[in-house]
Every structure is written in structure tokens, then in C-alpha cells.
Amino acid sequence: MCGIVGYIGQREAYPVIIKGLERLEYRGYDSAGVALYDGKNINLSKTKGKVSDLKKKSSETVSVKGNIGIGHTRWATHGVPNDVNSHPHYSNSGDLVIIHNGIIENYESIKKELINRGYVFHSDTDTEVLINLIEEVQKKEKVKLGKAVQLALNEVVGAYAIAVFDIKKPNEIVVAKLGSPLAIGMGEDEFFIASDASPFIEFTNNAIYLEDEEMAIIRLGKEVKLRKIKNDAVAYPNILELQMNLEEIEKGGYDHFMMKEIYEQPRAILDTYRGRLLADKGLIKMAGIDQHLDKFLNANRIVIVACGTSWHAGLVAEYIFEDLARIPVEVEYASEFRYRNPVITDKDVVIAISQSGETADTLAAIKLAKENGAFVFGVCNVVGSSIARETHAGAYTHAGPEIGVASTKAFTTQITVLTLIALKLAQEKGSLSKERLNEFLTELEYIPTKVEIALQSNEAIEKIAEVYKDSTNCLYLGRGYNFPVALEGALKLKEISYIHAEGYPAAEMKHGPIALIDEHMPVIVIATNKGHYEKVVSNIQEIKSRKGKIIAVVTEGDEQVKALADYVVEIPDTLEALTPLLTTIPLQLLSYHIALMRGCNVDQPRNLAKSVTVE
Ligand code: AGP
């Protein structure tokens, strides 16, 4: 996700936009740019790096005068972070400029068509395609900017929050929204545009939040005119009087980034499969895989290297790849792999998983694998990160910046990408019937909604947290696909609440850990109705008979476990291989609430860093 800011009014636009971008840097900080209209020209400056880099560059290179302007801080999705790919983007004529937060899925086909019509492109972004589509529509239909934007947006598929300026109509800015947030600050004879209210809350607390498929023409001295993009019908603004303060706005109204990111998971999972999962066509489109399919199909095995939560996502991938694509998989801690002189050949494919793309151990493991001839594929959340650049190919999770040190949306979006890869390979290998494959593709599209449903247990989980917040130890148990989720749940609890927690395969209890069970030991058991359900029920009975306290994550409607456990949290039913995307949600919420009740710093836990760039 990116941050967009715009201004039109009596003030100097530049300081408003720059300060607004600084407040939106939590949304992305790969690059930044600003375009200002000084009454005669559009003066545009943009640069790789942070807003502070933009401030330095713009004040030295362009006039920063003018009462109208737009600005952008980028979280790269298409095109690595560099000056050229930064926003704003000009149209070919130089008359139009745009800033954009979102993903245009069909930009490649539109780009081809525009190139055939003589357009040239300087960046790798989908946004530059969009501004030239608007220009082409404006020329062809001989319409003003507002109509051109509306017509052009009816040709695109994807998500956007855009602001567009046309030097031919210099007293207005046109904005539009689908899937990405856009707020209009309503000042005294001035208007503000932003991804959230933080850039303008100090000037006005009156705001319009555009609804999906709405656009607005913002003209000085005029009422804001809202339109429906689909049919140009008039839309009526709902002007809100905001009560939030600045910090609350940056956290989306949540108390912590971690909670905001837990609740972003439905959108993050959707953004991650957007444009890749074509369920209606029974297809999965992933350039990084499609271009190297032979490597995967002819590999002796797949070796996954990662750390922490990413390693847990790798364990889930092991179950999925072997179960569905019948490809042997080994999962290695990158920190062990890099030092143990592993046997790696050019018949191996190595998948490196990393949210930050900067984890030193994972980077070292990649280099070792490459030295031994392996093909290395990256799954990262940061475009242009060291790991993204070091691997031979890759696929990005589109989770947006993850600010909380405890990984949450990174985990579920990593699993989403890895599931798509496994299904793609299963389809190519014919290891899954067409019917079974389509069942997966269809169910994946329901996952964001099912995550929303799982999140509705938040209040019930908060009550459970109250009961167990003073525990000194905790056990997490899961079987099959949910064994890695048990490990992940234990990591979440220990890293933010400092309670010692361990994850085990449920069946492993009888080989020692059951000695730990007594009335002081809370045991979180993942007992969904898939896989080895009856075996897990037996494990629960073993724990209960030793007075263990049981918190069970069950499939909605489960009565059997409900009769045995002290507490149950229900999640919607789904396919067994997709249960990790849902069972992890209650465990994230439980660790969050317990940590909060223990007075811990949820977003910056002691001793930890968001990215471990040292060994
Ligand atoms: C998880 O909550 C932790 N923040 C940590 O284990 C993290 O997953 C690990 O350091 C790997 O980071 P990466 O995904 O950025 O490589």
C-alpha cells in the first residue's frame, strides 16, 4: 500500500503535501514524489528513498511554489523502487499527472494497446499505464478530465485510489477509489486529499471518505461533485466530523500496528492472490513460476530456507507441496543451513521466504545455494529488497508494510503465495484432478471473508486472555497442516508477552511433554474437523485427564470438543490444506490480548527487531 496526498486551496501546497507524506510513510517508504502547479507549469520531483530524500531533492531542483499539488510515498508492487518508478507519473503529453495507491491487474494488455497507438513508457509501473489510458480516452472522446477518468476506469481491473491533475484545467483535481482508501478533507475554501486523515486532521476534521467505485471532481470555490464510476450517476457525500487524533489515524483507529495488521489480513490475502488466481478460468498466473516451470517440475526436491514466522510458513508449504504437488520438500532454518555444509545440487530448487527481504541468515543461505548451482526462488514482502534482488526469480506477497515486530499478515500472505505455487505445480504435474484443483481455486476466493468471520471472535478471545494472562508456560498443539500453526502460535505468545510457550505435534505429547501437564498448564489445541480430528480429540482427553486447561480452536458447530475443552474458539470450515490461514487468526489475537494485559510493548517487544539483518 502507498500513501497519497493532494491539496488545492489558498495555502502553499508544498509544505502541506510534504508533511502529509511524512505522516503516511507508515504506508510505504520505498520512494516519494510531488507535483506542483505554479500557475504556469507543473513542477515535478521524485526520488527513490524516503520523504526526507524528496525534501532535499525537490527544494534543490524544482520550484516548490503553487497552491495545487499532489504527492506520493510508495510501497512498490510493480517495478523496483527507483526514481523512474516513483510517483507522480506524467502522461506522454506532459499535461496530466497522477498518483496511485493500488494494483491495476490488466495493465499489461492496456500497455500493449497504448504502445500500438504510439505511447512510450519510461517506467515499469501500472500507474504510468493508467495515466496514459486517461490521456488516450480524453483525446479520443474529446472529453474533460473527469469524464476521461471515469471512462478509463471502466476499462481497468484492480484496486486504486488516484488523484489526477490536468494542466489544461488547473483549478481542479479528480480523485477516484476502488479497494484502496481515499479521504477528502473539507476545509474553508480548501480541499485536502489523502489515504487517511492524518495529513489534514490539523487543518480540518470534516472529511468525506469515498466509497468503492466513487470518484470526485474537486474544484476550488465549488461543492465537491461525487459520481459513480460505473454509470456517472450522482453520489451524495457523507461528510464526517472526525474525532480521531493523529496517532490513532496512523494506526487506522487501532491501538497498535499489530492489531491493525491482524485486521488487514482479509485485504492482504486478497491483494496477494489478486491477478494471480483466476478461479473462473481454472488458472493460476505467476510470472516468476511460469518462466521457470521446468526448474520446479524437474527438481529432485524443494528446499525451503527461512527464519522465525517465515520458517513456519515454509513448514505449511512442505505439507501443501508434498500433499498436492507430490514434490519432496525439506524445510531448513536458514541459520543452520548456511553453516552445516548441506548437500545442494543444480537439481534442487531453493525457496527463500522472508517478509523483510533483509534477514542476514536467509540471505546467506541463498548465496550458499546459488554457489552450489541451485535455482533460488524468493517469497518476499518488500519489493527490491536484498533477498528479492539476490534470488533468480520470485513472487511478492502484497501484504503492505508490516510495522509490528510480530509477523501476522506476512504469515498468511506467505502461505497464500506458497499455496498458489503448489496448486500451479500440481496442475502442471497432473497430481490433482481438475475438479479438486477447481475446488481449491474457488475456496481460496472465500478465504478473505472467512478470515473476517474468524476475526469476529476477538471479544471472546479477549475474555480467554484475561483468564490465562498470568500463566508462566503454555503449550500449543496441532497435527498435520496445523502443526506449523501451533509453532507459530507459540512464537507469537512468547515474543510479545514473554510467557514461555512451546508448539508440538499433538501426537508428540506422549513422548515426554505430557509430563508438563497439570492444572497450571494452559494447552491451546488446534482441533479442526479435518485431518486427524479423532486423534486430536484423544489428545485432548489425555490432557483433560491430567487436569490440563484446554483452549481449543475448532470448526464452527463442533460439539464434541466443546464438551471437553475449557474454552473453544470457532473458525469457519474450509479445505484441510487451507485451515492454517484461519486457525492462526485466534492465536494471533490471543497473544495480542495477553501481551497487552501484561503491559508489554506489543509493537516493539523487548530484545527484538523487525528485521534481523545481523547474524
Ligand atoms: C516473527 O513474528 C518475528 N518477527 C521473526 O521471527 C521473523 O519472522 C523472522 O525474523 C524472519 O523475518 P523475515 O520474514 O523478515 O525474514
pLDDT digits (tens, 9 = 90+) for 274-311: 989 999 889 999 989 999 999 999 999 999 999 999 99
Residue nearest to atom 5 of ligand 1 (CA): 308
CB-based contact 134:148 (threshold 8 Å): yes
CA within 13 Å, CB half, 530? 18
Alpha carbons 45 and 383: distance in angstroms, whole number: 22
Ligand 1 site-directed mutation target among 363, 403, 407, most atoms within 8 Å of CB: 407
Sheet bearing 567-571, strands edge to edge: 500-505, 473-478, 522-527, 549-555, 567-571
Burial class (CB in 10 A: 0-12, 13-18, 19+), 516: middle
The whole-number average pLDDT for the span 167-194 is 95
Report the pLDDT averaged over residues 135-149.
97
Q: All 3 cell numbers of residue 307?
A: 527464519
Q: Give me ligand 1 centre to Cα 408, in Å.
A: 10
The closest of 447, 456, 434, 386 to 574, measured between CA atoms, is 447
By the 8 A CB rule, do 551 and 468 touch? yes
Question: What is the Å distance from ligand 1's center to 612 Cα?
Answer: 8
Q: How far is Cα 555 from Cα 157, in angstroms, rounded to an integer?
A: 35
Residues in the chain: 615
What is residue 234's predicted lDDT score, i.e. its pLDDT? 86
Question: 80: CA distance to ligand 1 center in Å?
Answer: 22
Residue 365, helix vs strand vs coil? helix
Q: Which residue has the cell 500449543?
A: 476
Q: How far is CA 204 from CA 5, 187, 200, 331, in A?
A: 15, 6, 6, 53
Ligand 1 atom closest to Cα of 608?
4
**Atom 7 of ligand 1, residue of closest alpha carbon:** 308
Tens digits of residue pLDDT in 542-584:
999 999 999 999 999 999 999 999 999 999 999 999 999 999 9
- 71 φ/ψ sector (left φ>0, alpha ψ -120 to 50, else beta): beta
Q: Is the pLDDT of residue 245 over 80?
A: no
Query: Computed from CA positions of residues 282, 285, 286, 290, in that sequence, does the dihedral angle turn out positive or negative?
Result: positive
- If one compares 29 and 394, the residue with the highest pLDDT of the two is 394
| Distance from Cα 458 to the centre of ligand 1, integer Å | 24
Alpha carbon distance 132, 134 (integer Å): 5
Q: What is the mean pLDDT of residues 341-347?
A: 96
CA dist., res. 492 & res. 593, Å (int): 11
Closest ligand 1 atom number to CA of residue 405: 4
Cell of 437: 484443483
Q: Which residues, 6+ apart, have CB-to-CB distance to 227 below 8 Å?
A: 146, 150, 214, 215, 216, 217, 233, 234, 235
**Contact criterion met (CB below 8 Å) for 334 and 361:** yes
pLDDT over 90 (residue 331)? yes
- Beta carbons of 521 and 496 less than 8 angstroms apart: no
User: How confident is the model at residue 244, as a pLDDT?
Assistant: 73
- DSSP code at position 323: I
Whether 397 lines ligand 1, by a CB cut-off of 6 Å, is: no
Place 346 in a pLDDT band, splitting at 50, 70 and 90: very high
Range 471-496 average pLDDT: 97
Pocket test for ligand 1, best of 333, 359, 382, 485 (most atoms within 8 A of CB): 359
Peptide bond into 88 cis (omega under 30): yes
What pLDDT does 213 receive? 95
User: CA-to-CA distance for 420 and 439, rounded, in angstroms?
Assistant: 13
117-121, 247-251, 279-283 — which is least confidently predicted?
A: 247-251
Q: How far is the CA of 309 from the centre of ligand 1 (A)?
A: 5
**What would the grid cell of residue 107 be?**
495493465
Closest ligand 1 atom to the C-alpha of 309?
8
Model confidence at 246, pLDDT cuts 50, 70, 90, reads confident
The CA-to-CA distance between both ends of the chain, in Å, stands at 30
Candidate of 257, 307, 495, 584 to mutate for ligand 1, largest count of ligand atoms within 8 Å of Cβ: 307
CB 355 less than 6 A from any atom of ligand 1: yes
- Residue 500: helix, strand or coil by DSSP? strand
* CA neighbor of 134 nearest in space, from 90, 172, 177: 90
C-beta separation of 265 from 398 below 8 A: no
Residue nearest to atom 4 of ligand 1 (CA): 406
DSSP designation for 575: -
The number of C-alpha atoms within 13 Å of 235 and in the hemisphere containing its C-beta is: 23
CA distance 310 to 313: 5
Looking at residue 30, its pLDDT comes to 87
**Residue positions annotated with a catalytic role:** 2, 610
d(CA 56, CA 424) in angstroms, rounded, equals 46
Instruction: Enumerate residues 6+ apart whose C-beta is below 8 A from 192.
Output: 5, 6, 7, 16, 20, 184, 185, 199, 200, 203, 204
**Best-predicted range by mean pLDDT (221-235, 273-287, 442-456):** 442-456
Higher pLDDT pick, 246 / 121: 121
| Dihedral class, residue 10 (left if φ above 0, else alpha if ψ from -120 to 50, else beta) | alpha
Assess whether the C-beta atom of 612 lies below 6 angstroms from ligand 1. Answer: yes
Q: How high is the pLDDT of residue 384?
A: 72
Residue nearest to atom 6 of ligand 1 (CA): 308
